[in-house]
């Protein structure tokens, strides 16, 4: 630290010299004019030879200062600031001695002495403005000037000159004190400025390092997620095809276990996908007015089955059950209208309920809703382990988990609350958390009240009949192509497979009657699925040809590209039910993307 401060002080002194060098030309011109003025005033009273010699000495001293100033501005980086300071000190001392010597040349009458005193006062004032930021340089000029004046005044045996001597001593002391304070202030200011600059550079470097680490983390997660999604996607496709062929009850049970395992891994990957989408800024918010009742009933049905056999009680409070009459249902729906994005809000509540389920071993979990003025407070509360006060802010950080040192996958990977906070910020919904260690946790989400129902575009109800379409599937992995063929064929699809965009163009020349394209996003030869779709549409002269992109990419840049392509996108691993629903959706007239 001492070495660092010493280096900063040297830099500060260099800045002081630079400041002095900037005003030195003005100081040289002003001093030269004062010298010429004095020569003119004393032309009659001082011998010509002595006066000419004094003027020559003064201009030589000023030339020396001018050369020092010029050299510093051009070559200051070659030598230390201490050396340049010494050169400026010598030049200023030489000028001070030259100025001070004038008092010994003029007559000792009161008029001449007053002229010299006035000249000295002007020169010292100019030096204070020009070199006052360095106490050493100012002293090098002022001390010899006033000291020589005091000596000369004392040589004259007169009380008035004794008074001049006393006044000169007081003046010297005052100007030195002012110069020291001014120099300390300027030096300290430069020192603090340099220190702040250094701190800012350190902050910038650390910020860049943190951003780089975060980018590398995101890239690693995206890459790992992509590599894991490929085989998981293939496994899901084959599992769906195999499940339809199983008849033996024991094999069906085993298949169900496999499905559960695949779903668990898919859930972890989808959490990574949600974070990647939020980081990429590609999550689209579609706020509409809708009733809370259908959402609450859906969550009640899903989580009621999840708590069966666990000893936990799950309840949906403050929300009446379905009413017997249609009119009562309508009135109740209208009394629970909110303004939000139904999909994102459901994602928030599912994450909170899943989190409560993971960390509650006994007691209850409840989902509730209370009207508070212009907002509905949607509450998720549990009687679980609770969160210590010093942990309550940390739980919203990525991958942070309380009481899971063994990284039990049953408790997730620590992204649920991170996603909840990001989504609440995205929707503009205030969120609060109250938790007591050993007693439980309560989350409140405040959603604006709305009065009108807005129609929303939804996926069509899945039709289990035969689709009777020709689908061109593009993926560079044969395993995925085999799985897609196994899944699509029983749906009544004629499947054409190829591993590159060029091969796809060749296939459609032989079979131009294509009803849909399903492609991976990253293809061979650094081509993208969106580009392949565009080429196929242009080749077939069908700009509205239905298309779907299936991707394992979660890198923010890739996700933004997919969003901008305007093509419907699914992320691996894809559930067959979602695939069939999206296929029917894009095949509808007027809905192709």
pLDDT tens digits for 67-88?
998 998 888 888 888 888 889 8
Strand order in the sheet with 364-372: 313-316, 364-372, 375-382, 440-448, 430-436
Rounded Cα distance between 165 and 156, Å, is: 10
Counting as low any pLDDT under 50, the low residues of the chain are 319-324, 333, 404-414, 455-462, 591-593
Residues 6+ apart with CB under 8 A from 135: 176, 179, 180, 183, 184
Q: Which token pair is 423?
A: 């989504």
Residue 127 sits at φ, ψ, to 5 deg, of: -65, -35
Whole-angstrom CA distances from 570 to 289, 356, 552 are 26, 28, 9
pLDDT at 49: 92
Given a contact cutoff of 8 angstroms between Cβ atoms, the answer to whether 363 and 424 are in contact is: no
Rounded Cα distance between 138 and 124, Å, is: 8
Q: Calculate Rg over the CA atoms of the chain.
A: 43
Give ∠ CA 274-278-280 in degrees, rounded to 5: 115
Q: Indicate the SS3 state at residue 437.
A: coil
Task: List, for residues 186-237, the tens digit of each pLDDT value.
Answer: 778 777 877 787 788 888 888 888 777 766 666 665 565 555 556 666 666 6
Q: Which token pair is 477?
A: 């992995």
- In this structure, the number of other CB atoms found within 10 A of the CB of residue 362 comes to 10
Task: List, for residues 475-519, the tens digit of each pLDDT value.
Answer: 888 888 888 888 888 888 999 999 888 898 888 888 778 899 999
Given a contact cutoff of 8 angstroms between Cβ atoms, the answer to whether 119 and 34 are in contact is: yes
Residues 6+ apart with CB under 8 A from 207: none
Instruction: Report the DSSP beta bridge partners of residue 571.
Output: 551
Rounded Cα distance between 579 and 468, Å, is: 15
DSSP 449: B
């Amino acid at each position: 630290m001492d070495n660092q401060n010493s280096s900063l002080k040297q830099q500060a002194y260099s800045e002081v010299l630079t400041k002095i060098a900037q005003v030195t030309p003005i100081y040289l011109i002003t001093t030269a004019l004062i010298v010429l003025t004095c020569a003119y005033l004393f032309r009659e009273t001082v011998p010509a030879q002595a006066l000419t010699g004094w003027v020559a000495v003064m201009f030589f001293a000023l030339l020396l200062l001018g050369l020092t100033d010029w050299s510093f501005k051009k070559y200051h980086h070659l030598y230390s600031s201490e050396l340049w300071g010494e050169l400026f000190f010598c030049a200023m001392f030489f000028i001070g001695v030259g100025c001070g010597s004038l008092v010994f040349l003029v007559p000792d009458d009161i008029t001449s002495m007053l002229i010299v005193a006035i000249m000295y006062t002007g020169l010292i004032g100019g030096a204070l403005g020009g070199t006052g930021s360095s106490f050493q340089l100012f002293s090098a000029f002022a001390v010899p000037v006033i000291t020589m004046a005091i000596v000369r005044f004392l040589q004259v045996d007169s009380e008035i000159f004794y008074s001049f001597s006393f006044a000169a001593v007081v003046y010297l002391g005052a100007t030195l004190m002012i110069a020291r304070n001014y120099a300390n202030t300027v030096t300290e200011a430069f020192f603090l400025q340099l220190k702040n600059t250094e701190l800012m550079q350190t902050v910038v470097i650390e910020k860049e390092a943190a951003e780089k680490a975060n980018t590398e983390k995101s890239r690693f997660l995206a890459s790992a997620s992509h590599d894991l999604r490929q085989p998981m996607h293939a496994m899901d496709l084959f599992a769906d095809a195999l499940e339809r062929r199983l008849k033996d009850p024991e094999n069906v049970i085993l298949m169900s276990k496999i499905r559960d395992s695949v779903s668990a891994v898919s859930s972890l990957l989808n959490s990574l996908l949600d974070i990647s989408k939020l980081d990429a800024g590609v999550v689209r918010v579609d706020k509409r007015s809708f009733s809370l009742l259908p959402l609450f009933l859906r969550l009640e049905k899903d989580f009621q089955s999840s708590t069966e056999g666990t000893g936990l009680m799950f309840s949906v409070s403050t929300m009446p059950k379905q009413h017997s009459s249609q009119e009562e249902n309508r009135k109740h729906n209208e009394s629970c209208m909110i303004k939000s994005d139904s999909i994102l809000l459901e994602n928030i509540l599912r994450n909170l309920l899943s989190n409560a389920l993971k960390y509650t071993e006994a007691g209850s979990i409840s989902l509730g809703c209370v009207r508070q003025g212009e907002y509905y407070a949607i509450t998720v509360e549990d009687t679980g382990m609770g969160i210590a006060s010093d942990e309550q802010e940390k739980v919203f950080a990525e991958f942070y988990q309380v009481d899971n040192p063994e990284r039990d996958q049953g408790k997730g990977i620590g992204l649920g609350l991170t996603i909840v906070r990001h989504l609440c910020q995205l929707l503009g919904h205030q969120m609060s958390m109250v938790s007591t260690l050993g007693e439980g946790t309560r989350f409140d989400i405040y959603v604006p009240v709305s009065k009108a129902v807005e129609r929303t575009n939804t996926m069509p109800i899945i039709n289990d009949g035969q689709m009777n379409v020709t689908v061109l599937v593009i993926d560079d992995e044969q395993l995925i192509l085999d799985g897609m063929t196994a899944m699509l064929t029983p749906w009544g699809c004629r499947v054409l497979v190829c591993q590159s965009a060029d091969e796809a163009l060749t296939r459609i020349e032989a079979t131009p009657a294509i009803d849909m394209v399903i492609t991976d996003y990253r293809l061979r030869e650094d081509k993208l699925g969106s580009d392949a779709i565009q080429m196929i549409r242009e080749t077939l002269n069908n700009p509205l040809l239905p298309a779907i992109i299936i991707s394992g990419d979660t890198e923010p840049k890739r996700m933004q590209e997919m969003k901008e392509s305007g093509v419907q996108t699914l992320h691996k691993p894809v559930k067959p039910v979602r695939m069939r629903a999206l296929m029917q959706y894009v095949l509808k007239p007027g809905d192709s993307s």
